[in-house]
A and B are shown apart, each in its own frame.
Chain A
Amino acid sequence: MRQMATGKKGLAAMIVLMLFFLGSIGSASANEEPQEKKEELNVKELILDHVADAYDWHITDFGETSVSIPLPVIVKGRENGWQFFSSARFHHGHDSYRGFSIAEEGPYKGKIVETLQSGEEIRPLDFSLTKNAVSLLLCSTALIIIILSCASWYKKRQNNLETASPGGWIAFLEITIMSIVDGVAKPCIGKNYKRYTPYLLTVFFFIIFINIVGLIPLFPAGANVTGNIAITSVLALFTFAIVNLFGTKEYWKEIFWPDVPAWLKVPVPIMPVVEFIGIFTKPFALMIRLFASILSGHALILGLTCMVFLTVRLGVAMNVGMTIFSVILTIFSDCVELLVAYIQAYVFTMLSAVYIGLSQVEAHPHK
């Protein structure tokens, strides 16, 4: 109950903040001016802080008090064993609790560390439901509900095909699904495409849904999930597994004994090594591409928004001008990010399909 109340308050605060962003720019800036002058804004810190994962869901600072939702911490320390507690115990990273604290500097900066009796700081096994993990779970649940309700709509009409022409969001989903099936899976994979469409569709909807949710700045959304390398690495790992587990004999032959002049294969196996490295670079590229483009998108929007506060020092006129400029640019880059959210999901799906298609090669007849 208390958490929910905090959440509601946070939401209200967020809306007020949004109104400040979009509406009364001039007067708001004037009001903020003396406060902002006191402390230098460290843009780099702010951006990195926002795009990184966190143990509590920071919503906004309301005056001096920080409004955030504490999230559960699940850790297994070397000395303290399994521990399960709320991240509110850390008091925003200032306190330590049961031997655990959030490191303020060092290699584990921002992460939970365990302080051993010797004074040494080590990283415990950390399964905490961080901001990204919670966002991930929420999005996964929402995605399952959305797709399953769409599927059940069709299932109800299984025996009455005349009524199975959807409208509204189901039609929208259907168009999207069929565009992936007919536009990506079929041409990229070839005749075995039916076996892989569920995976490609899952990947596509997973990425695009989380991307778009990540662009909404209000509370339950807005986490930089697909811009986190752990997320994209798992996605790439799935593609890697599917490509290599279901690869044909011909696919492996082309890796270890490709159709090139013999001196490229023996005695020094140049081509096999290149091909073998290729197995890993393909999913690696998938991982980095998605991670980097979403991360940079978030960083860009945050940077543009920060421009409003940075230019406060330059006087009211300059600040108003730059604020308008910044808001226009932010809206523009938000639109671009929407496009990127789609493109990245599409590219990930398409490249996965291409890699799967490449692993489905069959011995081509000798000419």
Chain B
Amino acid sequence: MSLLTPDPGLLFWMLLSFGIVFFVLAKFGFPIIVKMVDERKAYIDNALESAKQANERIEGIKEEGDRILKEALDERVRILREANETRTKMISDAKEQAHVEAGKIIEDAKGNILKEKELAMHEAQKQIAALSIDIAEKVLRKNLDNRSAQMDLVNKLISETQN
């Protein structure tokens, strides 16, 4: 039997079995596998792309956050500085006002004192005059027993006081 002559029986079986294998696998086997592998590849590529985009977005959000934080810090510094200024201003204002008020009070007090003093002086004068008159009366009572002398003296005194 020659190895180089194909046997018709085996040719038949080979045609049959390879034909069936080819038909079945080419219809139900390989196309499904290849299609799924391709689809999965597309899916993975897609997922990678969206992951990249998400990453970029997260990066953007992070930057935004940093910016907001920085702004807030600046704002805080500004507010603190302003508060400090306000405080200093308020203290100096208060001091000034107190100064003014104190001056006014002192002025008032001075005025009052002067008035009191005048009043006191006036009173004192009155008292002194009364006292003097009393004293003078007592002194004069002895001397001025006659009427004319009394009158002279009164006139003299009146004129003196009028002057």
Contacts and interface: CB of A to CB of B under 8 A. Distances in A.
Contacts of B72: none
Contacts of B39: 161
B9 A229 contact: no
Q: How large is the interface on B (under 10, 10 to 19, 20 to 34, 35 or more residues)?
A: 35 or more
Interface in A119-134: 125-130, 132-133
A147 B18 contact: no
B4 A230 contact: no
A108 B21 contact: no
Nearest to A128: B9
A154 B33 CA distance: 6
Contacts of A178: 34, 37
Contacts of B37: 154, 174, 177-178
A229 B3 contact: yes
A230 B6 contact: yes
Interface in B20-40: 20-22, 24-34, 36-37, 39-40
A154 B7 CA distance: 39
B84 interface: no
Interface residues of A, number: 55
Contact of B28 (A48, A125, A148, A165): A148
| A contacts with B: majority SS | helix
A353 to B, nearest CB: 14
Contacts of A132: 10
A126 B13 CA distance: 11
Given A202-B22, A234-B18, A53 B7 contact: yes
B29 A151 contact: yes
A216 B28 CA distance: 29
A133 B9 contact: yes
B33 A140 contact: no
A155 B3 contact: no
A130 B32 CA distance: 34
Interface in A266-302: 295
Interface of A: 48, 51-53, 74, 108-111, 125-130, 132-133, 136-137, 140, 143-144, 147-148, 150-151, 154-155, 157-158, 161-162, 164-165, 173-174, 177-178, 181, 197-199, 201-202, 205-206, 228-231, 233-235, 238, 295
